[in-house]
């Protein structure tokens, strides 16, 4: 399995003790994958046989992909029938695509930014300051909104993310259908409509019985996939129905062959736009995160990004493409250090070093958005040309690239059998908030410190601009 699927600890109160024995009707094309049934992982593990050969068989939701047998009863997933001597139940598979979301109009920009900065995974305040999260988000979103609005105005007045993600959802649904898996595909955005919370409510209303969560970020970061999973975890933990739905979360998928090949295809194609393709430097530009995420909070984002670039280059080398390449990080916000090197600084250096042709490759995201359409295509292009780079091109985001969509569909199918119920223990560490004296002291010192910190001119200008 390529997808790094993660499972939360499973519900301890499911009382299935049986060991399942599962088999597949399409015995010639067996591809054995590990699977846990919705029973407690520690007491009951099931093996499931998927039929990859089913790609060529159109199977509607009422048909079987595999049949699952056990001595008394069985559990299955969509297209897989649950059998018992007394009844037959079909599972309903859901796929939840997670994404960031973006403002659809200029009026949405400030409230969108508020949602973003109110996320404790985006502005990570020490516990003492956490009660200031929302007032701070209000302040920062107000400071940043004018600069952000300019950006969104220059790309047509809003983010294209919703439309692109909806199109991707439909394409994945169709790709799954073509592989014999009928499913409902949902879009859940972290900071704008349709919010993750709405998608989850719909999942519940639709009676989904098995869910794959697919974040549309190839690499994991606390600030993106991690943040969305926190929302899910909370919702699933608090809801009786949802807490029993088997869920499989694909944490990251940058290592998947289909993704790497699709990226290499786009790069190979775009290199042909240069008069001397072999001379162009391949410039990977990833969205940055503050250094503290990686160095203090254990965010695997930088490691995964570096490995991802290595793997894409390996694929290109296997095709005889040996261009020079480099990786830099873009889009920093605020007064702290972000992952280096910074895209804008590297562009200037490369120009000074005499690099003449450059192919920009956005690598942390799979749709066009403000940071490809405005930051790369306008700001960085202009900076590169001013710095002496003569030939500039940019690889498009993967979007609806068929090989990419097919690969995501495969990732879903591979993740499906390992779904287990989400159970995360409630956070009980807020005992300080129950003590009124401690709470008052915390509020007082927190407010004084915050006032000094956040109203300094340096801080204000840092949030107004990308570059400090
Ligand atoms: C992998 C992708 C992303 C990471 C990591 C990430 C971290 C991160 N972002 C901010 C602050 C902002 N991000 C903004 C927009 C934005 N961010 C991503 C992706 C990642 N962010 C995307 C795809 C978008 C664009 C969405 C769209 O509207 O099309 C913005 C708003 C735009 C702006 O004002 O520049 C902010 C602000 C932080 C602080 C952070 C990590 C801590
Ligand atoms: Fe961002």
Residue 115 CB–ligand 1 contact under 6 Å? no
Phi, psi of 17 (to 5 degrees): -110, 0
| pLDDT at residue number 45 | 25
Q: What is the largest CA-CA distance in the chain?
A: 76
Residue 237 has pLDDT above 60, yes or no: yes
* CA distances in angstroms from 100 to 143, 216, 217, listed in the order given: 21, 9, 9
Let me know if 302 is exposed, middle or buried by CB neighbors in 10 A (0-12, 13-18, 19+).
buried
Strands (E), 197-259: 210-215, 246-252
Pocket test residue of 100, 162, 362 for ligand 1, highest count of atoms within 8 A of CB:
100
CA distance 260 to 268: 12
Residue 223 CB–ligand 1 contact under 6 Å? yes
| pLDDT at residue number 461 | 59
Residue 350 has pLDDT above 50, yes or no: yes
Residue 146 has pLDDT above 70, yes or no: yes
Higher pLDDT among residues 48 and 437, named by residue: 437
CA 14 to chain centre: 30
DSSP class per residue in 112-157: HHHHHHT-TTTS---GGGGGGHHHHHHHHHHHHHHHHHHHHHHTTS
Least confident of 209-223, 359-373, 421-435: 421-435
In 3D, which of 420, 66, 112, 367 has the Cα closest to residue 243? 420
Q: How far is the CA of 170 from the centre of ligand 2 (A)?
A: 25
Residue 287 CB–ligand 1 contact under 6 Å? yes
Q: How far is the CA of 148 from the centre of ligand 1 (A)?
A: 11
Strand partners, 184: 94
Give the mean model confidence (pLDDT) for residues 353-366: 97
pLDDT level of residue 25 (50, 70, 90 thresholds): very low
Residue 451 has pLDDT above 80, yes or no: no
Q: Which ligand is nearest to the CA of 99?
A: 1
CA distance 430 to 433: 6
Residue 215 CB–ligand 1 contact under 6 Å? no
- What does the pLDDT look like over 267-310, one tens digit per residue? 999 999 999 999 999 999 999 999 999 999 999 999 999 999 99
Q: How far is the CA of 128 from the centre of ligand 2 (A)?
A: 25
| pLDDT at residue number 214 | 98
Give the number of other CB atoms < 10 A from CB of residue 22: 21
Let me know if 85 is exposed, middle or buried by CB neighbors in 10 A (0-12, 13-18, 19+).
exposed
Residue 289 CB–ligand 1 contact under 6 Å? yes
Give the mean model confidence (pLDDT) for residues 191-212: 98
pLDDT level of residue 130 (50, 70, 90 thresholds): confident
Q: Which ligand is nearest to the CA of 220?
A: 1
Give the number of other CB atoms < 10 A from CB of residue 29: 15
Residue 333 CB–ligand 1 contact under 6 Å? yes
Residue 123 CB–ligand 1 contact under 6 Å? no
Q: How confident is the prediction for the chain on average, in pLDDT?
A: 80
Q: How far is the CA of 245 from the centre of ligand 1 (A)?
A: 31
Least confident of 19-28, 245-254, 311-320, 423-432: 19-28
Residue 283 CB–ligand 1 contact under 6 Å? no
Could you tell me if residue 330 is left (phi over 0), alpha (psi between -120 and 50 degrees) or otherwise beta? beta
Kindly report the pTM of this predicted structure. 0.79
Q: What is the CA radius of gyration of the chain?
A: 24
| pLDDT at residue number 290 | 97
Pocket test residue of 150, 229, 371 for ligand 1, highest count of atoms within 8 A of CB:
371
CA distance 95 to 250: 11
CA distance 334 to 246: 39
> Is the predicted ipTM greater than 0.90, yes or no?
yes
| pLDDT at residue number 248 | 98
pLDDT level of residue 436 (50, 70, 90 thresholds): low
Residue 174 has pLDDT above 90, yes or no: yes
Residue owning the nearest CA to atom 27 of ligand 1: 102
pLDDT level of residue 195 (50, 70, 90 thresholds): very high
Share of the chain above pLDDT 90, in %: 69
């Amino acid at each position: 399995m390529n997808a790094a699927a993660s499972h939360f600890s499973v519900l301890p109160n499911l009382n299935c003790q049986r060991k399942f024995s599962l088999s597949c009707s399409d015995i010639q094309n067996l591809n054995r994958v590990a699977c846990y049934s919705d029973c407690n992982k520690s007491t009951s593990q099931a093996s499931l046989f998927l039929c990859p050969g089913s790609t060529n068989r159109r199977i509607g939701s009422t048909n079987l992909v595999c049949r699952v047998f056990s001595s008394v009863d069985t559990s299955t997933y969509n297209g897989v029938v649950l059998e018992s001597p007394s009844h037959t139940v079909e599972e309903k598979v859901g796929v939840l695509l997670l994404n960031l979301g973006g403002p659809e109009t200029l009026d949405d920009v400030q409230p969108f930014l508020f949602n973003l900065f109110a996320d404790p995974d985006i502005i990570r305040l020490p516990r003492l300051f956490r009660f200031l999260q929302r007032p701070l988000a209000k302040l920062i979103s107000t400071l940043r909104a004018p600069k952000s609005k300019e950006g969104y105005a220059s790309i047509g007045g809003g983010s294209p993310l919703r439309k692109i993600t909806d199109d991707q959802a439909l394409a994945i649904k169709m790709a799954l259908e073509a592989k014999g898996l009928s499913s409902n595909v949902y879009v859940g955005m972290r900071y704008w409509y349709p919010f993750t919370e709405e998608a989850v409510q719909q999942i519940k209303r639709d009676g989904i019985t098995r869910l794959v969560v697919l974040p549309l970020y190839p690499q994991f970061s606390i600030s993106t996939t991690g943040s969305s999973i926190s929302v899910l975890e909370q919702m699933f933990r608090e809801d009786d129905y949802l807490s029993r739905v088997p869920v499989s979360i694909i944490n990251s998928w940058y290592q998947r062959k289909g993704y790497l090949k699709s990226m290499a295809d786009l790069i190979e194609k775009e290199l042909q736009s240069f008069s001397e393709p072999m001379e162009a430097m391949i410039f990977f530009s990833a969205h940055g995160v503050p250094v503290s995420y990686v160095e203090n909070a254990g965010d695997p984002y930088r490691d995964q990004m570096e490995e991802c670039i290595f793997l894409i280059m390996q694929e290109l080398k296997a095709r005889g493409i040996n261009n020079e390449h480099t990786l830099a990080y873009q889009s920093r916000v605020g007064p702290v250090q972000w992952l280096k090197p910074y895209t804008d600084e590297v562009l200037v250096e490369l120009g000074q070093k005499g690099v003449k042709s450059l192919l920009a490759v956005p690598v942390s995201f799979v749709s066009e958005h403000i940071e490809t359409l405005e930051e790369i295509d306008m700001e960085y292009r202009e900076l590169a040309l001013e710095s002496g780079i003569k030939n500039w091109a940019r690889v498009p985001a993967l979007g609806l690239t068929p090989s990419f969509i097919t690969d995501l569909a495969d990732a879903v199918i591979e993740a499906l059998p390992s779904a287990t119920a989400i159970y995360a223990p409630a956070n009980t560490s807020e005992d300080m908030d129950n003590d009124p004296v401690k709470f008052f002291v915390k509020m007082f010192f927190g407010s004084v410190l915050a006032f000094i910190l956040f109203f300094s001119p340096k801080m204000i200008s840092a949030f107004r601009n990308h570059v400090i």
